[in-house]
Each structure stands twice: as C-alpha cells, then as structure tokens.
Structure 1
Amino acid sequence: MEIRHFRYFLAVAKHRNFSRAAAQLGIAPPTLTRQIQDMESDLGTRLFLRLQREVSLTDAGRALQAEAELTVRQFEAAQLNAQRAGRGETGHIELGYVASAVFSGVLQKQVSSFRLRYPDIGFTISENLMPVLPGLIEEGRLDVGYIRSPMHLPEALSTISLLVEGFALALPGSSWLCRLKEINAAHLQNEIFILPEQISGTLQVAAQGGYAPTLGPQPGGLVAVVALVSLGQGVAVVPESMVDHIKLPNVVYRRIQDCQPSSFLSLVYRRFEKAPAVARFIEHVKDFSERPTL
C-alpha cells in the first residue's frame, strides 16, 4: 500500500460516502472504489460495511483509522521538513570565529538577525585560532568562519569583506613611550613586538618606520597578547575594537600618529557550498554587508 491509499481510506471514513469522498479527492468514484477494494484485498479484511446510501467502518476499519491518520500526519510532516531543509529554512551550521569578530560586534549582529529570520536553523559556534580556521572550513569540520584579512586562503575558499578596522598600540604602562605626547612608527624601532594572529598591522608599522621589527612571541588569542604586554614583555599592534573590551593592569592603548594600518573582518566560506542552510547564511551575510550605514 502507498500513502495515497491511506488518504483515500480516510476520506471515505470521514464522508461515509464514496461519491462525496471522491469529489474531495478529485478522482472518479469507480477509481476510489477500486482503490479501497485493493486495500481490503491486501489486508485480507473488509474496512467498510456498504449500506444503501452510505458506508460505515468495520472493527478493522476503526482499528486502522487512528493509525492511518498518524501515518498521513507523519508523512506530511516529513515532506514539509524535507522541503524546508531544501529551501535552507532548517538545518545546522558549524561556525568558527576569531576573537576580534566578537569585539567588533559583527558576529553577534549577523547571527542574531539570521536567527530571527530562520529560527529553525541551529548553530554550533566556537572560537578558533586564525591560522587553522580556514583549513577546518576546507575540510568540512566548520561551515563558515569569521577571520581577519588579509591572509592566505586555500583556492576552495572565498571571503566576504565585512568591516574595515584600524589598529591601536598596546604598551606597558611603565614604558617610556607613555611619556611621549605623540607616538610615531619610528619610536618603536627598538621595541619587541608581541604578535597577534594577524601580523599585518605590525608589518605596516615597521615599514612606515623604515626598519625590520624585532619579533617576540605569538601566544595566540588577543587576550594572551595583551597579557604579555601587561607583563612588560613588549608592545603589540592590535585591532582598535578591543581597546574598550580588554582592560588589563599596566596596559595603555595609544594611537600611532604617522601610521594608520588597517585590516578587515571577513566571512570565509566554501566557494561551492551545497548545504542549503549554509548557503542561506552566506547570502544573508552578503545582504547584511551591503546595507548602507546609517
């Protein structure tokens, strides 16, 4: 038997009349009669008692009715869920990010607005080290990620530029640099640079000052970078969005007057994404990033 047989059976049980049931189903009464007869033949029992103008359910018919209703509801629910998943309205997204995406607020805004529009799509969200995040996406262990560009990416990946952001200088409160009214790139020539995951800002400052920077440790996340600065291990060129978010003892943030390096947050994703929910999120981010700033 097929799902249509259950629908035919339920229509006859509801109307207690083959002609009215056939009209509801949009088929001819003789066709409906043959379908019910086929069901009874397959089950080896009668489902209806035929009276002069109507029919009534047998004990077997009444036993089948509740199960048939449940079967049809489950089938229709499965069909609807499959259709919604195919349209990218349900599903799950594995999302990775670097810390500066959170400090800027970009990740929160985009995920929140997406969830309001598609509440049945779930997320697993995790912080990742930037050097490994693109590889996790390429391998399929993550679906999308928020990174700080520019950085080298595998050919299978692409990016959406989201937010251009400048850098600030984090330095120990005891540093002689704090006594300067203005700090220029050349003043940092003899400093040790603690390296964040995105080192482009450090390299731009050194290029402006005309020297090769003395590179210190690269401890990972931005909190770890600023922690080393607070311990007097060096200075660091960090995204300006974190100035208001990471406050540690013995750390001062200053502007580099003659150099304003910048980077931008990006969403990285697979070029030929096939998962409908993930593709829906990528399109949402594209639309979000193209909205005019008020």
Structure 2
Amino acid sequence: MFDFRQLRYFVAVAEELSFTRASQRLHISQPPLSQQIQALEADLGVRLLDRDKRNVALTEPGRVFLEQARQILAKADEARSQVSQAAAGFSGQLRLAYTVSVTFHPSLPQTLLRFGRHAPHVRVLLSEMYTEPQFAALLAGELDVGFVRDLPRHEADTHTLRIDEIDREPLLLALPSEHPLAARRKIWLREVADAPFVVQPRELAATLYDRLTLIAAKADFHPLIRQHAQQINGLLMLVAAGMGLALIPASMCTVSLAGVSYVQLEDPDAYMLLAVASRREDTSPVLAQFLSVVAEARAVPNLL
C-alpha cells in the first residue's frame, strides 16, 4: 500500500513535470525519487507518468490520481493541524456555567470575547446555574468551569476544586427613590435595621442571603424579610414597588429602573466574591487555555 511519502513525491513530479526539479524541491537525489515513483506505480498497477530522458508527462490515470493524492495530503495536513490544536487547547469544547448575577458583571462577556478571539475553534457550552449546583456539577465531572459567587462550603471540596478569584464586588443597597436615605452617598446597614428587606430564597441564592445576614449580625440586628423573588433582578421590581430594601452586587446598578436608587455601604463585609471554579485534577488543554485568558485579563487593569 502506498504511503504519504510516495504521494508527496508523486505530486512534486507531477507538478514540476521534471524529476530534476522535483528532487530539488524535495531535497532528495533523483535515484530514490525514481524508485519511489516506480514502487507507487507497481502498487497501483498503472503507469502514472510517461517519461523519457527529456520529458515527463502525466498519463490519464496519472491525472486522476494527482487530484486524489492532493486531496489525501490536504486531509492529512488538516487532521494533523486539528490534532495539534486539540493538544494545545485551541479546539474542542468547554462546558461553562455562570450565576445570574454574573451576567451584570463585565467579567463574563469580556472573558468570553477574549477567549473567542484566543481560541475561536473551541465550542463553549453555556449554562445558567447557581453557585452550589455549579460546585456539584464540577465535582461530578458534568461541568468544566464556572463563574461562582462563593467558596465551597465543605473542606474536602476546597482540596478538589481550584478557585481563581476575579473580584470582590461591592454590595449596594437598593432602596425606593423616595426613601429618606436615597440621597446619601454612603450609609451603614445598621441605619436601616428597622426596614423590611426583599431577598431571593436561601435555597436558590445562599451567598447573597448569607452575606446580608452576616452584615446585619455584625450590626446587631436580624433583617426582617418581607418578600422573596426567584431571580436577582426581580428584587429591583420589589424595591420599586416599595416592598422593601435589597442588597445587590454593584454591577447591577447598570439596571436603571424608575423608582429605585442605589447607595454604597460602609460595612467592611459589604462585598460579594466573584471567582472562576474548576477541578484541580482537570488537565484539559482547553481549560488551561481558558484559565490563561482569565489570568491575563486579571493582570491588565479594566479588562475584568
């Protein structure tokens, strides 16, 4: 059976129509070139080239085989390129999840944009998922990487999962625009200790719920929960309706809703973690490329 070397030799002779020029192009001497062409013809059982001491011409079977040889070599080069790209992490797929609140933070779209330019042949499969389910999916091997809002709660998981912090995003207080404190630039949470709050159910969004409870506890009060919203952006509607106040990530202030104002908090714990989580043992080249893009973006101010 013929091999790729014989195909390359034949294509060179067929394109040059000269054994001398073909040997120069291939950087080999003429005798082994002639021997390989003869072996190819013997294997195929046809004469591919008519040649004499001065001229070389393709036979009709030679013209047909030339097109086939070019296609085979092109496919081989394509396969070699794809394998190399896969080994380097520039092709394949990446299963990525993110929490709803991350959609308001510039890190998600900017990272996806940079990674798309860096590795355009990687297919990114996106899923919207809360932080705790993301950790479970990562541990089960059902997810490759996730944008999370908290650290793993179980110590064993901290050894299995890799957490790359991106930001400690400030938390703001969303309150009705007519609220007496709405015109203030900064307040302490204890100043609204008697006010009702609206939150997401803890079973859905434990991170933000627990952060509110923590800050309130340090301010010596327990927040009065009046209403729940399934989605974080639903909290703003409840605030606008005068149902209560809400703690939200600072990136959500880009949402302009009539009747809602945002005030910074002085409390030192008024922040929300944003990190990228993955399995420590995952040696996927695609994941390595993605994490390198995240690291590069973090190293350059204003990119994340």
Q: Same fold (TM over 0.5)?
A: yes
Letter in 1 for 2:168: V
Structure 1's 219 and 138: CA in aligned 2 closer, same or farther, altered over 3 A? farther
Show the counterpart of 2:119: 118
In the superposition, relative to structure 1, how do residues 264 and 140 fare at CA in structure 2: closer, same or farther (>3 Å)? Answer: same
2:214 maps to which residue? 204
2:174–2:239 Cα contact (<8 Å) kept: yes
Residues 98, 129 of structure 2: 8 Å contact kept: yes
Query: Deviation digits for residues 135-186 of structure 1, max 9, x if unmatched?
Result: 2333343322212234537343212111222112234568787699985433
Is the aligned partner of 1:271 residue 2:272? no
What amino acid does structure 1 have at the position aligned with 2:284? A
Residues 1:289 and 2:298 are matched in the alignment: yes
Q: Is the 8 A contact 1:184 1:259 kept in 2?
A: no
CA contact (8 A) 2:185 2:264 kept: no
Report the AA paired with residue 26 of structure 1: H
Q: Which blocks of at least 5 consecutive residues in structure 1 are unaligned?
A: none
> Is the contact between residue 137 and residue 269 of structure 1 (CA under 8 Å) also seen in structure 2?
yes
| 2:89 corresponds to | 88
Cα distance in 2 for residues equivalent to 1:293 and 1:174? 34
| Equivalent pair of 2:227/2:243 in contact (CA under 8 Å) | no
Matches of residues 47-196 of structure 1 in structure 2 within 5 Å?
47-152=48-153, 154=157, 155-172=159-176, 184-196=188-200
Partners of 1:243 and 1:179 lie apart in 2 by 15
Question: Does residue 243 of structure 1 match 2:253?
Answer: yes
Partner amino acid, structure 2, of 1:243 = C
1:7 is displaced (CA, Å) by: 0.7
Worse-superposed segment, 204-213 or 174-183:
174-183
1:292 Cα deviation (Å)?
Answer: 4.2
2:280, 2:295 → 1: CA distance? 14
* Distance of 1:136 and 1:172 partners within structure 2: 38
Deviations 1:209-263 (A, max 9, x none): 223444566644311333444455543222122123152x554433445565112
The amino acid that maps onto 2:189 is A
How is 1:20-31 mapped onto 2 (pairs within 5 angstroms)?
20-31=21-32
Count of matched residue positions in the alignment of Structure 1 and Structure 2: 293
1:202 to 1:109, Cα distance in 2 relative to 1, 3 A:
same
Taking structure 1 as reference, are residues 287 and 227 closer, same or farther at Cα in structure 2, changes over 3 Å only?
same
1:232/1:284 Cα in 2 relative to 1: closer, same or farther (>3 Å)?
same
Distance in 2 (alpha carbons) for counterparts of 1:212 and 1:162: 30
Rounded to whole Å, the distance in 1 between the matches of 2:9 and 2:67 is 14
Match of 1:12 in 2: 13
2-structure distance, mates of 1:277, 1:232: 47
RMSD of aligned C-alpha atoms? 3.0
Moved more, 120-129 or 178-187: 178-187
CA distance in 2, matches of 1:180, 1:67: 76
Deviation (angstroms), 1:280: 0.6
Cα distance in structure 1, aligned partners of 2:186 and 2:10: 85
**The residue matched to 2:255 in structure 1 has which SS?**
coil
* SS of aligned partner of 1:45: coil
For 1:19 and 1:137, how far apart are their aligned partners in 2? 60
- The residue type equivalent to 1:170 in the other structure is A
Change (3 A) 1:24 1:244: closer
| Superposition TM-score, scaled by structure 2 size | 0.82
Aligned partners of 1:246 and 1:124: how far apart in 2?
30
Please, which moves more after superposition, 8-17 or 195-204?
Answer: 195-204
The two structures have a TM-score, normalised by structure 1, of 0.84
TM-superposed deviation, 1:117: 3.4
Q: Which blocks of at least 5 consecutive residues in structure 2 are unaligned?
A: none
Preserved contact between residue 184 and residue 263 of structure 2 (Cα < 8 Å)? no
Q: Which stretch shows the higher mean deviation, 215-224 or 276-285?
A: 215-224
Matched residue type, 2:292 = E
Q: CA deviation at 1:194?
A: 3.4
C-alpha distance in 1 between matches for 2:265 and 2:49: 88
